[in-house]
Amino acid sequence: MRNLVTPVFIGALLLLTQTGLASASGDAQAAPGFHNIIFQALNLAILLGVLVHFFKTPVKRAIAGRSALVAKDIDEAGRLLAEAQARLQLYEARLSAFAAESEAMLLDFRRQGELERDRLIADAEADAERVRREAERTAQSEIDRAKARLEAEIVRLSVEAAGRLVREKMGPADQRRLVGEYLARLEERS
């Protein structure tokens, strides 16, 4: 009820001031007097009072709502900033860890490559040594076979030469004597 009385009272007051102003100025040519200025000031004060009275609460609410919204936005921005900074720190940590890990991997690959190189060199040297020993053994075997062939050939040629010499120098009496000795040895064995 109080909410209804106040606007009616203010409206009536405004109407009276406007009526007072209209009657005070009476003549369109009359100079504005002290009364007229007072009525206009009073009219302005009443209008401002009415505006303040009616719009004070909604304006306060709007300002409070806007203030709350701005505070909420500031809090949200702070939260987002904190999240972004945390993510940035996480990414920077990951990046530095990745850099360290990639450096460690590079060193590990380099070490593995050197080990593999050393292993390949050792294998190649072992293979070369094995091939050298095999070649030496094969060469020695060939030399031994060649020696055996040469010795066999020398023996054969020597036997042939000795046989020719014996046949040339031995007469029929020597042949009979050798055959007799041979037969005697055979009889002793049996």
Q: What is the residue type of 104? A: A
Rg of the Cα atoms in the chain: 68
Q: Domain locations in the chain? A: 141-189
| pLDDT confidence tier of residue 11, bands split at 50, 70 and 90 | low
Give pTM, 2 decimals. Answer: 0.37
pLDDT of residue 15: 62
Mean pLDDT confidence for 96-102: 87
pLDDT of residue 20: 56
| pLDDT confidence tier of residue 17, bands split at 50, 70 and 90 | low
CB 18 within 8 A of CB 46: no
pLDDT of residue 21: 54
Considering Cα of 12, then 14, then 17, then 22, what sign does the dihedral take? negative
pLDDT of residue 168: 80
Whether 174 has a pLDDT exceeding 80, the answer reads: no
CB 10 within 8 A of CB 49: yes
Whether 133 has a pLDDT exceeding 70, the answer reads: yes
pLDDT of residue 137: 94
Q: Alpha-carbon distance 96 to 88, whole Å?
A: 12
Lowest-pLDDT range of 5-19, 47-61, 91-105:
5-19
pLDDT of residue 172: 79
pLDDT of residue 96: 87
C-beta neighbour count of 135 within 10 angstroms? 10
Q: Alpha-carbon distance 130 to 185, whole Å?
A: 55
pLDDT of residue 171: 78
Calculate what percentage of the chain has a pLDDT beyond 70: 83
**pLDDT tens per residue, range 22-74:** 555 555 454 568 889 998 999 999 999 888 888 888 888 888 889 999 999 99
Q: b/e string for 4-17 if b means 16 or more Cβ within 10 A?
A: eeeeeebeeeeeeb
pLDDT of residue 138: 93
> Which positions ≥6 away from 36 have C-beta within 8 Å?
21, 24, 25
CB 41 within 8 A of CB 21: no
pLDDT of residue 71: 92
DSSP structural state of residue 28: T
